[in-house]
Structure formats: structure tokens, C-alpha cells
């Protein structure tokens, strides 16, 4: 069965509700929790995630709060990987080495930093190696063939395939161009190895995930979950049920199980 990476904003809208959401997504078959540290000026996030970040930042959210939330998730769900998603300013401010150390201590297993590309990462690659963190670079359909091959030849274990150019959360059409992009990412690198490919950006239905499953190792979904949280945050039982069902739908799990 293909993997599911589910994206949440740390402590949105509260620590209690965010933890309930994570628990529900794990119950729905989530294999990796992608936890975003709130950031004021995101470059890849759509309206739902931007609004979530703004909300918790106005309440005084800090990077430490995010690490504390991640540590709780790691302790509560030890069999679920945690990928931390953030932007470079939050890493550069304390120092990338120190940030990676704290991420490791909190229970993070991988980092996704969209604005620190693999070929200009300010030392992220080395810091991840030092603290045994997996660096997951983001690949876009607009990449040149040479740059894509350079990314593959770097030897990353996992690559985040953004299924289209733009921001997350808006409609994504899976077409021949999308499939061609995923196939090119799946080719061997100079050492004959292939990376795991996770496809994301606008995944919100079973039909979309099924369309890319033959070409990826897993799918990434986020805004669809944040919208459910937004709508049902005053009813934790209903919110949790809907999140679990949506996760099962996207992963392709029979909801009766």
C-alpha cells in the first residue's frame, strides 16, 4: 500500500485541537506527519495554510512551541515518522546546525525546507547528515532536465514532487504532463539508485491519489485537512471522524476497516 504524508500546522488552532487532529490522521493511516512551523511570509502555501499560520502567530506562537508539539507527537505516536516543514528564516536565525540539533532532539526524522533548494542550501545538507536527519528536497515540473538530474545524483532518499507550479491548496489536475514529470523523477541516479517519490500540492481526493499512485511511493495532503479543522474545530468528535475518513480516502483504505 502507498504511504500518506499528512500536513498540519503546529498548534493550530490550539495545541489540544492540533493533537486531536494528528491522532485522527494517524487513525486514518497516516505514515508521516508533516508538521509545519508557523511562518509569517510563506512562499509555497495556499490560503488555508497561510491563514492557519497567521492565526497561531497572532497568538504568540514560537519555534519552541512547535518543537514541543512535535516532541509530544513523537512520544505519543512512536511508529509514525515526523517531517518538519519550515522556511529558511527560522533555520538561519538560530543557525542551521543548532536548528537541526533541536529538531533531532524533538523527534523529527526529516526536514522539508522549500526555500533552501538542494543546490543552495546554506549548509542544510551537511547539518542533516551530522544529525542523521533526512533532507527532502522539493522538485517542481518547471525544473530543467540538467537541474533535475543534479538533484537525483545528490542521492536523496526521498523527493517531494510538487505536482504543479504555484502554491498549495488550489485545484490540481493530474494529466500527461504530471505523469511525465513523476516518471522523470523516478529514473536512476548516477549510482543506479532511485529515490522515493511523494507527490503533493492540491491532493484532496481518492481520484487524484489513485491517478498518481502508479508513479509515486506516497502522496502528500495538507490543505484539505486544514479546511476540515477550520470547519469543525468546535466539535472535536466530528472533526476527528472527518479527518480519519478523509485520510483513509486519500490513502485508498477501506473506510469500513
33 or 169: which carries more pLDDT confidence? 33
Instruction: List pLDDT tens digits, range 183-224.
Output: 999 999 999 999 999 999 889 999 999 999 999 999 999 999
Residue 186 belongs to some domain of the structure: no
How far from each other are the two terminal CA atoms of the chain, in whole angstroms?
A: 15
Strand partners, 85: 36, 112
* Cα–Cα distance for residue pair 229/144, rounded to 1 Å: 37
Quick one: average pLDDT of 66-77?
Answer: 98
Q: What is the pLDDT of residue 46?
A: 72
Residue 147 belongs to some domain of the structure: no
Residue 175 belongs to some domain of the structure: no
Is the pLDDT at 131 greater than 50? The verdict is yes
Residue 178 belongs to some domain of the structure: no
Is the pLDDT at 87 greater than 70? The verdict is yes
* Cα–Cα distance for residue pair 123/48, rounded to 1 Å: 31
Residue 192 belongs to some domain of the structure: no
Is the pLDDT at 169 greater than 50? The verdict is no
**Structural domain count, the chain:** 1
Residue 169 belongs to some domain of the structure: no
Residue 146 belongs to some domain of the structure: no
Residues 6 or more apart whose Cβ sits within 8 Å of residue 22: 8, 33, 73, 77
Q: Looking at 32-36, 51-55, 94-98, which range is the least confident one?
A: 51-55
CATH of the domain at 48: 3.20.20.70
- Active-site residue (options: 16, 31, 41, 45): 45
Q: Which three cell numbers stand for residue 141?
A: 515540473
State the pLDDT confidence band at 48, using cuts at 50, 70 and 90: confident
Is the pLDDT at 1 greater than 90? The verdict is no
Q: What is the pLDDT of residue 165?
A: 54
Residue 31 annotated as catalytic? no
Q: Alpha helices of the chain — where are they, by DSSP H? A: 15-27, 47-58, 63-76, 88-92, 96-106, 124-130, 145-153, 176-185, 206-212, 223-232, 236-251
Quick one: average pLDDT of 127-141?
Answer: 96
Q: What is the pLDDT of residue 57?
A: 95
Is the pLDDT at 146 greater than 80? The verdict is yes
Averaged pLDDT score across all residues of the chain: 93
Residue 105 annotated as catalytic? no
Residue 133 belongs to some domain of the structure: yes
State the pLDDT confidence band at 256, using cuts at 50, 70 and 90: low
- Active-site residue (options: 31, 34, 68, 232): 34
Q: Which range marks the domain in which residue 42 is found?
A: 3-138+201-251
Sign, Cα dihedral of 226, 227, 228, 231: positive
Q: CA angle 150-151-156, nearest 5°? A: 135
Quick one: average pLDDT of 79-94?
Answer: 96
SS3 of residue 160 by DSSP = strand
Quick one: average pLDDT of 31-38?
Answer: 97
Amino acid at each position: 500500500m502507498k504511504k500518506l504524508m499528512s500536513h498540519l500546522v503546529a498548534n493550530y488552532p490550539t495545541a489540544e485541537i492540533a493533537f486531536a487532529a494528528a491522532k485522527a490522521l494517524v487513525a486514518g493511516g497516516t505514515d508521516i506527519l508533516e508538521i509545519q512551523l508557523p511562518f509569517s511570509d510563506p512562499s509555497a502555501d495556499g490560503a488555508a495554510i497561510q491563514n492557519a499560520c497567521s492565526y497561531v502567530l497572532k497568538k504568540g506562537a514560537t519555534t519552541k512551541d512547535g518543537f514541543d508539539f512535535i516532541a509530544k507527537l513523537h512520544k505519543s505516536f512512536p511508529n509514525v515518522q515526523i517531517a518538519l516543514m519550515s522556511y529558511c528564516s527560522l533555520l538561519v536565525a538560530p543557525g542551521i546546525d543548532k536548528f537541526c540539533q533541536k529538531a533531532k532532539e524533538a523527534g523529527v526524522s526529516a526536514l522539508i525546507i522549500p526555500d533552501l533548494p538542494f543546490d543552495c542550501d546554506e549548509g542544510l545538507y551537511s547539518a542533516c547528515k551530522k544529525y542523521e536527519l533526512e533532507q527532502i528536497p522539493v522538485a517542481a515540473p518547471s525544473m530543467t532536465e540538467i537541474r533535475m538530474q543534479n538533484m537525483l545524483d545528490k542521492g536523496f532518499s526521498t523527493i517531494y514532487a510538487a505536482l504543479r507550479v504555484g502554491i498549495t491548496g488550489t485545484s490540481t489536475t493530474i494529466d500527461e504532463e504530471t505523469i511525465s514529470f513523476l516518471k522523470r523523477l523516478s529514473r536512476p541516479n548516477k549510482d543506479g539508485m532511485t529515490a522515493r517519490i511523494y507527490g503533493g500540492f492540491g491532493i484532496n481526493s481518492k481520484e487524484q491519489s489513485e491517478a498518481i499512485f502508479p508513479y509515486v511511493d506516497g502522496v502528500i495532503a495538507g490543505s484539505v485537512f486544514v479546511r476540515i479543522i477550520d470547519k469543525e474545530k468546535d466539535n472535536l468528535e466530528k472533526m476527528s471522524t472527518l479527518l480519519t475518513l478523509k485520510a483513509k480516502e486519500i490513502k485508498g483504505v477501506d473506510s469500513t476497516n
